[in-house]
């Protein structure tokens, strides 16, 4: 940093010490002041190691905060959008015109239809009535089967995504006690 020295004449009345002669009265008081230009000071400040270290620390904090925010958002995302280990099962009631969807885990564990579809339009007074079933979000190798009273009443796959419980008539089946298992 270059410093410039300026001699500034303040134009103050002469100070006459008691031991000086009157010849010193003819001189104005002059003071030498060291002044550095503002821009040079700022430039030196931003090139100093202390400030560079502070900026690196700020950049590191910003990067860390950004990374943690993205990570937090990924964790906070709903399980259904993060978990690709589900299929979407739709139950259709052709008589009432109602249908409802539910996510079924593909972990080979039986899921109760009554719990999956409770409070939906296909559940009437706690009973789930259906005329057909359909996989609407699935993988090609998806395989689901619906059982009730120990018997398989429907099978759905990635290639056969629709199953009509009464193929030639518009009737419904009470599948409240049924389970669906997908893998």
In this predicted model, what pLDDT tens digit does every residue of 35-90 receive, in sequence order?
445 556 555 655 655 555 555 666 666 676 776 777 677 666 665 444 469 999 99
Instruction: Assess whether pLDDT exceeds 50 at residue 29.
Output: no
* Share of residues in the chain with pLDDT > 90 (%): 49
**pTM (2 decimals)?**
0.54
Q: Is 59 exposed, middle or buried (0-12, 13-18, 19+ CB in 10 A)?
A: exposed
Q: Give just the sign of the alpha carbon dihedral 126, 132, 135, 141.
A: positive
pLDDT band at 34 (very low <50, low <70, confident <90, very high): very low
pLDDT band at 13 (very low <50, low <70, confident <90, very high): low
In this predicted model, what pLDDT tens digit does every residue of 80-91 receive, in sequence order?
444 469 999 999
Instruction: Assess whether pLDDT exceeds 50 at residue 32.
Output: no
* Residues in CB range of 45: below 8 A, 6 or more apart: 51
Reduced to 3 states, what is the DSSP secondary structure of residue 11? coil
CA distance 81 to 69: 18
Question: How large is the greatest C-alpha to C-alpha distance in the chain, in angstroms?
Answer: 132
Instruction: Assess whether pLDDT exceeds 70 at residue 94.
Output: yes
Within the chain, strands assigned E span 4-9, 30-35, 86-93, 98-105, 111-112, 123-124, 127-130, 132-137, 143-148, 151-157, 162-164, 173-174, 179-182
Instruction: Assess whether pLDDT exceeds 60 at residue 115.
Output: yes
Instruction: Output the pLDDT for position 50.
Output: 54
């Amino acid at each position: 940093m270059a410093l410039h020295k300026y001699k500034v004449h303040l134009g103050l009345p002469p100070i006459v010490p008691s031991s000086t002669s009157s010849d010193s009265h003819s001189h104005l008081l002059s003071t030498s002041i060291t002044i550095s230009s503002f821009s040079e000071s700022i430039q030196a400040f931003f090139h100093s190691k202390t400030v560079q270290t502070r900026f690196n620390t700020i950049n590191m904090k910003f990067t860390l905060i950004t990374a943690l925010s993205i990570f937090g958002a990924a964790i906070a995302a709903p399980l259904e959008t993060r978990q690709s280990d589900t299929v979407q099962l739709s139950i259709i009631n052709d008589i009432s015109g109602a249908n409802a969807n539910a996510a079924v885990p593909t972990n080979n564990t039986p899921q109760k239809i009554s719990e999956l579809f409770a409070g939906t339009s296909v559940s009437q007074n706690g009973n789930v009535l259906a005329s057909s079933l359909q996989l609407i979000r699935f993988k090609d190798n998806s395989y689901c089967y619906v059982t009730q009273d120990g018997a398989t009443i429907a099978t759905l796959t990635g290639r056969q995504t629709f199953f009509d419980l009464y193929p030639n008539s518009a009737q419904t089946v009470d599948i409240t006690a049924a389970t669906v298992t997908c893998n």
